[in-house]
Every structure is written in structure tokens, then in C-alpha cells.
Structure 1
Amino acid sequence: MPENYEPDEFDQIAQAGGPVGVHRAPRKWYVRLLPALIVFIVAGLIAYVFATFLWNQDNNPQPGASATPSVTATESVAPSPTATTSDAPSATPSETAEPEPSETAEPEPVIIYDAQIHVRNGSGISGLAGEQEQKLEDADYTEVAANNINSSLIPDGTNTVTYTEDRLKDTAEDVAETLGIDAVQGGGTPGGAEIEVLLASDPDA
């Protein structure tokens, strides 16, 4: 004969209804897809954040790395030494263009037509001194005199024009050229005149 027990908590659960045993009620389809959807969304967000981080790293280099590109750009733009040298004007044309210094022109001879001139005859030819005196007067010399001299006083026995001072050198040379005499000698005259023509022979002979 069955025994009657007082209702306990398990009897209360049975009376409330619902699944009986260890099996659970079946879940809805969207409930089963929700975990996979959450994993997909989270994985996508992680991938997006990682890709964005790498993109920013590529487009924004570190401050220390920016020096090399700027230097490279500057060097590529700067002209090479060869181009600068070829464009700049060379120094050789300017030096060549400078005119060469002209030779110093010799000063014009200073002829003193009123200098004291003595024509001295030591050749033994009569009238020779007077003839040479006339030639000098025809050449515009105004202070000319003729006289004689001992042939031993004529240097080297050669027709010679002598003079006393350097200022008379040009005049003595002109006198010698007028009379056709080659020898001109400074340092004094035998008779003391400023210029003396010493005749050892006929200059026209």
C-alpha cells in the first residue's frame, strides 16, 4: 500500500510546469547567431583599428626621420660645382682684354740754338772751319764761331763734337748730324766753349 508523503519543493516545481528532466528548451535561431555576430564585429573593429594605426605610421614618419628627405631634396636642387664654374665668367678673358702697357715714348730732343758753338779746324785744310760754320748758321744756330786747334787735341784724330754739360747733349748730337760727324763726346771741351766741333778732316770728303 503506497505511502503518502507531504508535498516538497520538487513537487511544487512539477506542478508549475516546464521541461521535465535534464533537457533544456530549444533556443531561438537569432540567439544562436548572436555570439558569432559579436565575435565578427569585435574582430572587424580590431582589424580596423590595427589597419588605421599602420596607415598613420606610414604617413606620419618620426621626427628624427624627416631630416634625411629634406637634405636629399636640397642637394638635388643645388647646382653642381661644374655648372657654377662653367656659367661664371673666367678670369682669362678679362686679363687678355687689358691693354698692354705702351712703351714709354722718348722725350723730344731739346735743341738750344743759341748755345755757344766753336768750329775748330785741326785738319790743315784752309777755310774748312768757315764752311762748317756756315752750315750751322743755315741750320738756325746763332752763336757760332770758327777758329783753329792743334790736331793733337782732337780725340783719336777723328772728327768729334764735344760738349760741357748734359743739358747740351741733344744740341751737340744735332750739330754732329748737321755736319755729318759720327763721334759725340761729353765731359768738357778743349777751348772751354759750350760745344766745340773738332775737325781732323773734311766731313764731306
Structure 2
Amino acid sequence: MTQQRNTGDAHESYTPDDFDNPPAGPVGVHRGSRSLAIRLIPYVVVLVVAALMGLLAWGLFSGSINNLKLPWSSADSSQSSSTAASSAASSSAAESSSSSAESSSSASDDASSSASSEPSDSESASASASESSSAAQSVNKATSIRVINGTGTSGYAARKKTVLTQAGYSNVVAGNPSGTLPSSSVVWYQNETDKATAENVASSLGISAVSQASSISAPVVVVLMN
């Protein structure tokens, strides 16, 4: 079928082609009709952005944004808490070592004081022992002792001589009185060095009176009276 195209005053006949029978829909730069979901996407995006902006503004004004835990903030807080725990452990260890050092120092001081007190005790014991030994050494059982019988009982001085000999005295002589006698039994000694010996002799014979006398015939004289 031929069509006629009006070009000015002339009419020209040509064969129909694709341009003379276009398709039903838009072709080329023209778009087809979009669906409802696609057309709603821009509105949804605007609403979401508006909601986020409102939430951000509310958090800034109310201060709640400071309590917001972000994924990267958990690692920081964990690191901070671990650092704080390490610091606390270090200070606890330092305090423990300081307490241990103080305990060791006080124990050393106690040991030192105990050690220093022990020599004092030993020195006291040695001093007491030396005093005792000095006292024991001052009793000279080899000293010349004369036993005078003033009782009138025959052989009484000889019996007391035996007592002193059994007590360890080696130089004892029994004799009779010559001169003034005391009223009661007594042990005389010449010098201060003989005092301990005279006291020991009096204790061995059961005599309570001990006195110094310069004019006696022996270093220690025992006068036996009734």
C-alpha cells in the first residue's frame, strides 16, 4: 500500500517502513512506567534520614549519647579496665612486698633484740657463777682451825674436830682453854680473808655467833661453851 506525503505543493509516493508503524510503548529516551515500590523509595529514605537526625539531636541535648555504646568503644573500655586492673594488681603487689619487707625487718629486729638480750642473760649467769665461785673459793678448808673445849666435857672438842674433818677441813686441832672464855659458843677469825671460812665452820658446827678477833692463836678459833 502506498502512502502519499505532502511536501509543500507536491505529493510523493513511498514504500512504508518501521517508522511509519511505531511500537505501542515508548522507544529510545522514553522510559516505561515505574512500579509503586520504586516510586516510594525516595520518600522512605527521606523519612529514615529525618528520624536519624531527630534521634541524634535528642541524644545531644539530653546527654544520652554519652551512654551510647559503640562497637569500637567496647574495646577501649575493655583495655581501660584491664589497664586499671593491672595497675591495681601492681599496687597490691608493691604493698605486699613492702609489708613483707617490713615484716622481715621487724623479725630481724626482734631476732637482733633477742640475740642482744641473750648475751646479757648469759653475762648475768656467768657473773653469778663467778660470784658463787669467788664465794666458794673464799672458803679455805686448808686454813688452820683450833677448836677449844670450854664445856668441861671430856672429848667434846675432839668430836667437833671430827665433824669439821668430815666437812673437808684438813688442818683442825682440838685443845683446852687458856684465858678468858666467852659466855656462849663463838667462832673467831683474824682477818677479813678468813671471814667466809669462819662462817662456814660455824654453819657446820651449828654455831650462830661469828666475830673478828685479832689476838687469837689461829686464823679461825672455835670456842665451845655450854
TM-score tier by shorter-chain length is 0.3 to 0.5
Task: Compute the TM-score of the two structures, normalised by the length of structure 2.
Answer: 0.42
